[in-house]
Structure 1
Amino acid sequence: MEIDLSGLYQRMQSAPRPVLPSGLHRGIVGCGYVGRAVAASWRGAGHRITATATREESLASLKPLVDQAVRFRSDEPDNALAELAGCDGLLISLAPGGSRQAGEDAYRSVFLDGLQQIRAALASRPASQPLQLVYLSSSAVYGDRRGQSTDEHAPLDWTHPLNAVLAAAEQSVRSLRSEAVRVCVLRLGAIYGPGRDVPGQIRGAAGQVVLRNGDAVGGWIHRDDIVQAVDLAFDRGLDGVFNLVDDLELSGRDLADAICDQAGLPPVIFQAPSRSSGERVLNARIRNARIKGQGLVLQHPSMLAWSRSVSGSLA
């Protein structure tokens, strides 16, 4: 007797997906650019997924990707986060929305107020119920270290108000650690990848004056390597703080020069504005040895190599 595979696949897509024997109930708070890529990975592994978004239009596009989509805004008190209490694993990926540069009030609302609501939702869990929690933080918490080598033991920058909020948010998340709860904090570099073509933006500025300090060294990470690291954290039950950047340790000027050279373009002309006492600067050579020691092998160890591969595929 022949089996109608096409009909079977259609029924599998339309019916509620059972959790596989190896699958778990996992939650994603803040299912945006990175969260959706993580959801795709988890879906392929057979996990049941509950995810949040801030806008109704985002919820509509999220529903085909997850089992349950929930609206969550940190500035609203009546969020339905009770479903998170039943999760075996939780990814927290918060970021201020909007196209403008977010200020301190927005940071406090998203990170501190938002985390308070998440903590309240998790408070109903039995104390003995295991939970793996992964929190996506930012390498910006290190601030201006004048280009020094920076591992996870380096002091955080509590002087700039935005970095202080990020550092306080890390403390809030890490305080959830217990015998049953493992908390992994990933300090991300600036993100590039599909839909975030940083090399393309740099090429677009070739030969132009950019009002920015080109001598500061920052960290970068490809979206797909974030997904890899998140999966690794859940699979291995990671606990603690890990820097997550690629292997590129270049100043903004050197990075732009290399990308423009690849394309045969004139360099970007960096012109540092007069620095005010409140300027936010990340200038640190961030080390990624600790997360590599857990088994992470970067798919994209350098933005320059990724830029060449993308340019080659478009040629």
Structure 2
Amino acid sequence: MRNVAILGCGYVGLRVADNWKQQGLTVTATTTNRDRIPELEAVSDRAMVVRGDNREELAQLLEGQDSLLVSVSTKRRQTYDEAYLQTAKTLVSVLEKVPRLKQVLYTSSCSVYGDFGGDWVEETTPVKPGNPNAAVLAETERVLLEVATADRSICLLRLGGIYGPGREIAKIYRRMAGTTQPGDGSRMSNWVHLDDIAGAIAFAERQGLNGIYNLVDDDVQPTRELVDKVCRTHNLPPVTWDASQAGRSSYNAKVSNEKLKQAGYALIHPKRIV
């Protein structure tokens, strides 16, 4: 029986905890909000209050653990640097104290790729983050990858947009219905269902994957096509695009998921649910 810990149990971490618990792993789930302890206790064997930038709390969490998932997110009035980079640096500073820990999994973002004009990118493509937050995520990746050893794997999963129960794609895009949006809608959309995030994390932990893996579905398409499908499916007024206005995103690429599939992971939702 393996001991696994989750640093940050929000939308993703909560599902992973429940998934791992059902698979028979011994799960420790964490939060920075003591009021959420009962919620975490329902899907884990142990729930703790742990701050990612607190060395003592982090060392206590990792004692006796075989694997760690880092799935943190920004809290109110917290910067990306505080939430992601400082957590990674603190984790690196305590790793030598926990030799049993053999794998660290980290949920990163495909936004680190930046603007490739809609061309394909893969894990070996040099990243060029287009805004300060994406630059912090890229630096966080670098800090974590540097501490991989022959005895400890570091697996970075670059996630596309996250959707699933309570965060349905239709709910995300329906507010655009009947409006005029800047750009021509050609920016590529990369999404992944919550089921596949939990499934791929469990697969990566089980297989001891090391390195970077993109985690997106097969349904890569321009944003305008996805929005049009949402509007048609749900009988909403169509969106108009104004190419005379610049689009807002600094991230535009078709993200390949071939590496993860070649490793043996089969997507639960290869086609997008709208």
How far 1:50 moved relative to its partner? Answer: 1.4
The structure whose residues are more often strand, as a share, is 2
Q: Does 1:52 align with 2:30?
A: yes
| Aligned partner letter, 2:234 | A
Q: Is the 8 A contact 1:37 1:227 kept in 2?
A: yes
| Aligned partner letter, 1:42 | W
How far 1:295 moved relative to its partner? Answer: 1.5
CA distance in 2, matches of 1:212, 1:55: 40
> Normalization by structure 1: what TM-score?
0.80
Q: Does 1:256 align with 2:227?
A: yes
> What is the aligned partner in structure 1 of residue 239 from structure 2?
268
**Aligned counterpart in structure 2 of residue 108 of structure 1, from 77, 81, 92:** 81
Tell me whether 251-260 or 134-143 shows the greater mean CA deviation.
251-260
3-state secondary structure, aligned to 2:264: coil
Q: Is the 8 A contact 2:130 2:250 kept in 1?
A: no
Greater RCO, 1 or 2 (C-alpha within 8 Å, sep 6+): 2
> What is the aligned partner in structure 2 of residue 291 from structure 1?
260
Q: Is the 8 A contact 1:85 1:122 kept in 2?
A: no
Give % identity: 34
**Aligned counterpart in structure 1 of residue 127 of structure 2, from 146, 149, 156:** 156
Q: Is the 8 A contact 1:218 1:282 kept in 2?
A: no
Q: Is the 8 A contact 1:71 1:80 kept in 2?
A: no
Structure 1 pair 274–203 and aligned structure 2 pair: CA distance change class (3 A): closer
CA distance in 2, matches of 1:297, 1:94: 25
> What is the aligned partner in structure 1 of residue 250 from structure 2?
281
CA distance in 2, matches of 1:154, 1:253: 25
3-state secondary structure, aligned to 1:123: helix
Q: Is the 8 A contact 1:51 1:69 kept in 2?
A: yes
How many correspondences in the alignment? 274
Q: Does 1:218 align with 2:218?
A: no
> What is the aligned partner in structure 2 of residue 43 from structure 1?
21
RMSD over aligned CA atoms reads: 2.3
> What is the aligned partner in structure 2 of residue 191 from structure 1?
162
Structure 1 pair 219–115 and aligned structure 2 pair: CA distance change class (3 A): same
Q: Is the 8 A contact 2:30 2:49 kept in 1?
A: yes
Question: Which blocks of at least 5 consecutive residues in structure 1 are unaligned?
Answer: 1-22, 308-315
How far 1:212 moved relative to its partner? Answer: 6.5
Structure 1 pair 287–80 and aligned structure 2 pair: CA distance change class (3 A): closer
CA distance in 2, matches of 1:203, 1:109: 32
3-state secondary structure, aligned to 2:97: coil
**Aligned counterpart in structure 1 of residue 148 of structure 2, from 177, 198, 205:** 177
> Normalization by structure 2: what TM-score?
0.91
CA distance in 2, matches of 1:234, 1:140: 23
Tell me whether 165-174 or 129-138 shows the greater mean CA deviation.
129-138
CA distance in 2, matches of 1:57, 1:254: 42
How far 1:192 moved relative to its partner? Answer: 0.3
Output one character per residue of 1:150-184: Cα deviation in whole Å (capped at 9) or x when no partner. 11111101453212111110011111211110111
Structure 1 pair 33–212 and aligned structure 2 pair: CA distance change class (3 A): farther
Question: Which blocks of at least 5 consecutive residues in structure 2 are unaligned?
Answer: none
3-state secondary structure, aligned to 2:236: coil
Q: Does 1:233 align with 2:211?
A: no
Q: Is the 8 A contact 1:70 1:80 kept in 2?
A: no
Bigger-Rg structure (1/2): 1
